Amino acid sequence: MNDQPLLINSALIVGGGSAGFLVALSLAKKVPWLKLQLLRSPDIGIIGVGEGTTASVTHHLHDYLDIDPGEFFALAKPQWKLGLRMLWGTRPYFDYTFNNQLETHYALLDRATAFYVPDQRDFSRVGVTSALMADNRVFVRGPDGYPVVGSDVAYHIENELFVGYLEHKVREAGIPILDGTIGQVERDDKGVRRVVLADGTALEADLYVDASGFRSVLLGTALEEPFISYKSSLFCEKAVVGGWARGDEPIKPFTTVESMSAGWCWQIEHEHRINRGYVYAPDFISDAEAEAEFRARNPKVERTRVVPFRSGCHARSWVGNVVGIGNASGFVEPLEATALDVICTTSRTLALTLTESEGYITPSVWALFNSRVGKHWEQVRRFLAVHYKYNRRYDTPFWKACREDTDIREAEDLVRYYREQGPRGVWVNKILGVSDPFGAEGYFTMLIGMEVPYGTRTTPTAEQAASWRKIQDEFGNVTRGAYTVDQALQVVRHPGWKWPETLYRHPDRKTNARL
């Protein structure tokens, strides 16, 4: 394969799941001169697992793609997610939210909030959002009595509804969707020459976007790009998945993340169903044992199935005239629900690369794109590895191995700094890099939440401690009378409800053309 420049005017997207449809919509929106086609296989169904997202996915949908929230709620039927309820570490639980809580500095306090939390066993009300989560509330009540719907929230989404909605938007955008099974991938010195379907139809394009999921039919199979395993950092390789019809359980505005003997269990909230999954390490527990533990913890679970996966990524996401998106490029286990986030981030990176280069792709662009995407995968890897390395909730063989053997990569520098200096954020961007999606807030939440000690602890004065309690009391005052998810859904579904025009959209903001 040569490294001659490419001139790209057309693209064939291979794959019709969330990755394929999201990249199609992103390219259609931001690269209008690019001729697009999307190929999906009728033999491959939608993975029927509930999805959690990050807040950046919400912004990608409603700001970057300009998708109307009202239409999205009517057709995709998401539920709001304020963050993660972590049954993790030695505390009863702690909450990881999508807005700053520990990095917040109040006028009454000498230091950031992070310095006042370690001395309290209860980590449930360290900001307005975690106070809402503590009371199973999602939005505060505004002066007009309506919910103050914030933009710093994520979604719980039923995958079939989500993919169906994205397909609707792709068709609405005029992107041709072709149904067919790939019979052969012909290669040339650029990478892929053409894709030949089982019925003999040949499809050609300047760029091939591989969104074929774990099969990675172009990047992994046809071009044989090496796969880099993350098993030294992330030991889990299977999940047993199930759920049950919602009864009278309230809809929680967060994803529950619960430690188990050989991994962890998620709980994703849908309006009429609760989705549960036990992510586990088969080196430490058998499928039958995992199923038994899962059912013992969740007696309402109905039919289950086991989903194998591997954490890692291909050495390069862009090889010749093929770009991998989503699971075709890589996958990092679902602990922080980053799958859709990586798809959206990579889609934006690809769209910006094409627009800024005007479709003229040279070796330096390939290298920079691969460096950026590879760095993102590594950023997710190291953050998740920290979750495992310092979780002291259980002393099972799995968790002992995690504490002893987990490779946390470059996060070692951040943890060393934290142990020496405590949760002082001044140097964190220098250590992690400004592009890190989790930042000081994410790392400090996990390290303080898991009660990882640090050496330069400053004990608050009695006056400062009283000021912190006063601030926490005010959180309670703000959230008093707040809306539950059920109540907020009733409001936004009412014909008279109007979504705030500037909730996600920023029409006057210019696109940042830097990565």
On the question of pLDDT at 211 being above 60, the answer is yes
Q: Please state the rounded mean pLDDT for residues 368-378.
A: 97
Q: Note the pLDDT of residue 46.
A: 66
CATH superfamily of 79-156+233-310+389-471: FAD/NAD(P)-binding domain (3.50.50.60)
Q: Note the pLDDT of residue 45.
A: 67
Q: DSSP per residue over 103-167, as a string?
A: T---TT-SS-GGGTSTT-S-BS-SSHHHHHHHTT--BPBPTTSSB---SS-EEEE-HHHHHHHHH
Structure-block tokens of residue 479: 């959230």
Q: Please state the rounded mean pLDDT for residues 486-514.
A: 77
Q: Note the pLDDT of residue 3.
A: 81
Q: Note the pLDDT of residue 47.
A: 64
Q: Note the pLDDT of residue 505.
A: 67
Contact 125, 131 (CB under 8 A): yes
pLDDT, one tens digit per residue, over 73-82 is 999 999 999 9
Contact 55, 98 (CB under 8 A): yes
Nearest alpha-carbon partner for 83 in 142, 124, 112, 141: 124
Q: Note the pLDDT of residue 217.
A: 97
pLDDT, one tens digit per residue, over 165-209 is 999 999 999 999 999 999 999 999 999 999 999 999 999 999 999
On the question of pLDDT at 277 being above 50, the answer is yes
Q: Note the pLDDT of residue 1.
A: 72
| Residue type at position 461 | T
Q: Please state the rounded mean pLDDT for residues 305-318.
A: 97
On the question of pLDDT at 103 being above 60, the answer is yes
Q: How confident is the model at residue 515 (pLDDT cuts 50, 70, 90)?
A: low
Q: How confident is the model at residue 511 (pLDDT cuts 50, 70, 90)?
A: very low
User: In the Cβ-directed half-sphere of 201, how many Cα atoms lie within 13 Å?
Assistant: 9
CATH architecture for residues 6-50+159-229+315-380? 3-Layer(bba) Sandwich (3.50)
Q: How confident is the model at residue 507 (pLDDT cuts 50, 70, 90)?
A: very low
In sign, the C-alpha dihedral spanning 88, 90, 92, 96 is negative
Cβ contacts of residue 137 below 8 Å, gap of 6+?
253, 479, 482, 483, 484
Domain with CATH 3.50.50.60 in the chain: 6-50+159-229+315-380, 79-156+233-310+389-471
Question: What percentage of the chain reaches a pLDDT higher than 70?
Answer: 96
Q: Please state the rounded mean pLDDT for residues 381-385.
A: 98
The single residue listed with the structure tokens 């997710």 is 380
Q: Please state the rounded mean pLDDT for residues 217-241.
A: 98
Contact 51, 188 (CB under 8 A): no
CA distance 468 to 385: 32
On the question of pLDDT at 506 being above 60, the answer is no
Q: Note the pLDDT of residue 212.
A: 96
Q: Note the pLDDT of residue 512.
A: 46
Q: Note the pLDDT of residue 49.
A: 64
Burial class (CB in 10 A: 0-12, 13-18, 19+), 336: buried
Q: How confident is the model at residue 446 (pLDDT cuts 50, 70, 90)?
A: very high
Q: Note the pLDDT of residue 509.
A: 44
pLDDT, one tens digit per residue, over 40-64 is 998 776 665 668 999 999 999 999 9
Q: What is the mean pLDDT of the chain?
A: 94
CA distance 65 to 348: 10
CA distance 480 to 470: 15
Q: How confident is the model at residue 117 (pLDDT cuts 50, 70, 90)?
A: confident
Q: Please state the rounded mean pLDDT for residues 381-408.
A: 98
Q: Name the phi and psi angles at 238, rounded to 5.
A: -145, 160
CA distance 217 to 182: 9
